[in-house]
Structure 1
Amino acid sequence: MEGSIYQFDGRSRSMAARSGAPVAVVHPRVPPALRDVPLVGVIRNPRSHRNKGHLPELDGQPNILTASPPTRSELARVLSGFAERGIDLLAVDGGDGTVRDVLTCGAAAFGDHWPRLIVLPKGKTNALAVDLGLPNHWALSDALIAAVDGHLVERRPILVEQADGQGVPVLGYVFGAGIFTTATQDGQTAHKLGAFNSFAVALTAVAGVFQALFGLGASPWRTATGMRIYDAADGSEVPHSGHGRRDQRYAMAFSTLKRFPAGLNPFGRPRPGIRYALLDAPLRRVVALVPGLLMGWDRPAFQKLGVHRGAVDEALVDLDGSFILDGEAFPAGRYRLRLGPKIQFVAP
């Protein structure tokens, strides 16, 4: 993707405003309790892995408003309409990428006043669903029962915006760069081979460790990427071990999720804010530790090897290469990461 951080049919937010596309911000009142028959807006991605060949759930019910917007600009318009109607629940029928698009396109419509969200995990990757403890086959009817019973989990997404204030901010739950980008691309290969969700994560991790240990020369699994990472609170740079160039890192990941697919725990112990995990350089003794690091191993000596974990409320990152947010690649640049709105998700 070239140009601004996020585009609607190739147009930035300012261009959309000049063209007359609706960009009005709607901040509806969030009802303290669901209506007896809640009004439910459903954003369904018909291209999601487990939606192909299936009809929408509860389609035709008078309180169920189902839409499958073909473009991001149309998605923004649909979500604005849902906000104006005062929906009680917003269901996202798709994978992590669909959730990212709904959060990003709905930010102008809902602001800090989001309805309760339902995630129907139908994508090839469903990390958010794992974090929320959702069953693999969670039906909309099951979610509506859980919503009435008040089973809610709060998760704040990461808001990613260009540091110069241009473009449209994006919201998502897993941000990564460096070898994270390579792993995501290899994960797409795993999907083509029929591996999805936790199995795809495990397969990609094993293949990546093998290639990083035994790859030669210019192997993408042994390449560091230019990046600088700062705590925006005081402007200090996140420590670097000195292994490799100080303006490069091997891997970077940020997230606000607490649980991950395949039982992984790459960010270590719980911390408030946006947690991060960094690897400075592809030292083979560090790569050999990756399986344990992914499961949460932590030792004081790891930092001297270039393994860093921590958390920030806000970060600035300079990237020479692309980054990944919930499965989609975005261009190199200077970005600010901060906590997004508080969103309540319906959980079992």
Structure 2
Amino acid sequence: MHSHGATNVLLCYDYVRVICKQEWNYWPLIPIEARMASRIFQFAKLPQMATPVLDPVEVGIEREPGDTPRVGVIYNPRSHGNKGADFDCGMSPQVFIAKPGDRSQLPEALAEFASQGIDLLVINGGDGTVRDVLTSGASIFGDNWPALAVLPKGKTNALTVDLGVPKGWSLQEAIDAFEAGSRVRRRPIEITPIGSRPEARVLGFILGAGAFTTATTAGQSAHKLGAFNSMAVAAAIVMGVAQWFFASRENAWRRGSKMTIGLGVKDVPMEHSGVGDPEWRQLLFASTLQELPAGMKPFGKILEGLKLAVTDQISRRSALTLIKMMRGETPDGIREKGFHQLSTNQFSLRIDDSFILDGEAFPPGEYRIGQGPELEFVAP
């Protein structure tokens, strides 16, 4: 058994045991003191698109109907559900496992998978791991991604909720579902900076700003208390509603962030209700998912494409309206009360505060948010 370069790609014959000792590091970050204070990881900048280490264009490997699929597995030992656990598989020499030591090694691992002609890419980790794999893989696979499967091993697994993947779904079950399961198509959110570094971008599924950043920190506190997935989401919602009822306008939950939103390719300024400061929005939430944890339905009846739910600095008496909207209701006169639900092909975001993508913070700035490639996910 030996590793291929930094990727530590292992062939799985009778079985493979991956010992989880290396840390899952991060792209260039802000100083560690600031990270510790924030309790969520902060990216200093968007990651630059990876340059493929290997040329995956034509690998000359064709799969005949009925053949065992060639499977590549990205295993994140830092994911919540993987801590202290080995990764065992004993099913086929067609399964390849990569355990990158940090994000910078993902492009090499994915390029090697591409050169091996994998039919299925399995991501063993949470939403943050999915974000990192999609971001690194965009320049490797382009418009020719293999089918994907996600094993829900993170603190949050919103994507697997949308895909209908059960907790504890195994690698073998994901491989079986390649032939016998269902397929779900989704396009991730694609974020690029405006005016500089066009090669930088990140792909993910849940974007939030304003009170959402505060809620993410609250969710981290819920994790420490043992609440994960839908329970953590519910805990953060309860905290938020309590703050809306009792806190002043200066409270982070109610103040939000100073931001400007432009809709569509023409960058048309998003309307403001006039409730609160027109230069501020209390909350921005965007996603391409259709089903969210804890039964949340912030977009109302809008299901397809890139969806936004935005609130202005709403009043205390509007908190009950917010609760109804989170359950999928659309009360009358929501625009006048400071609530906005819409879909768009793209939008711009100019923000003076950090925003969150799949659980981690990115810096203030000017960004264009659209949709990435259509991906096909394997589900039960």
Global fold match (TM > 0.5): yes
Shift of 1:165: 4.2
What is the TM-score of this pair, normalised by structure 2?
Answer: 0.84
Aligned to 1:256: 288
The worse-fitting range, judged by mean Cα deviation, of 327-336 and 211-220 is: 211-220
SS in 2 for 1:53: coil
Q: Contact (CA 8 Å) 1:277, 1:310: kept in 2 or not?
A: yes
Partner Cα separation in structure 1 for residue 232 and residue 379 of structure 2: 24
Task: Pick the aligned partner of 1:170 from 193, 199, 202.
Answer: 202
SS in 1 for 2:309: strand
Aligned to 1:206: 238
Alignment of 1:1-348 (within 5 A): 1=29, 5-7=45-47, 12=48, 22=52, 26-27=56-57, 36-58=67-89, 61-166=92-197, 168-216=200-248, 218-348=250-380
The worse-fitting range, judged by mean Cα deviation, of 292-301 and 247-256 is: 292-301
What is the TM-score of this pair, normalised by structure 1?
Answer: 0.91
**Counterparts in 2 of 1:286 and 1:78: CA distance versus 1, 3 Å:** same
Q: Contact (CA 8 Å) 1:45, 1:98: kept in 2 or not?
A: yes
Partner Cα separation in structure 2 for residue 87 and residue 78 of structure 1: 12
Partner Cα separation in structure 1 for residue 330 and residue 358 of structure 2: 25
Shift of 1:27: 4.1
Q: Contact (CA 8 Å) 1:104, 1:171: kept in 2 or not?
A: yes
**Counterparts in 2 of 1:129 and 1:147: CA distance versus 1, 3 Å:** same
Aligned residues: 338
Partner Cα separation in structure 1 for residue 64 and residue 211 of structure 2: 44
Shift of 1:294: 1.0
Q: Contact (CA 8 Å) 1:117, 1:346: kept in 2 or not?
A: yes
Shift of 1:333: 0.5
SS in 1 for 2:333: helix
Aligned to 2:34: none
The worse-fitting range, judged by mean Cα deviation, of 86-95 and 32-41 is: 32-41
**Counterparts in 2 of 1:324 and 1:268: CA distance versus 1, 3 Å:** same
Shift of 1:28: 5.2
SS in 2 for 1:278: strand
The one-letter code sitting in structure 1 at the alignment partner of 2:300 is G
The one-letter code sitting in structure 2 at the alignment partner of 1:87 is I
Shift of 1:246: 1.7
Aligned to 2:3: none
**CA distances 1:174-205 after superposition (whole Å, capped 9, x unpaired):** 11100010000110000000000111111110
Shift of 1:31: 6.4
Percent of pairs identical after alignment? 45
Partner Cα separation in structure 2 for residue 133 and residue 173 of structure 1: 15
C-alpha RMSD of the superposition: 2.1
SS in 2 for 1:50: helix
Partner Cα separation in structure 1 for residue 64 and residue 219 of structure 2: 41
Partner Cα separation in structure 1 for residue 90 and residue 217 of structure 2: 35
Shift of 1:59: 5.6
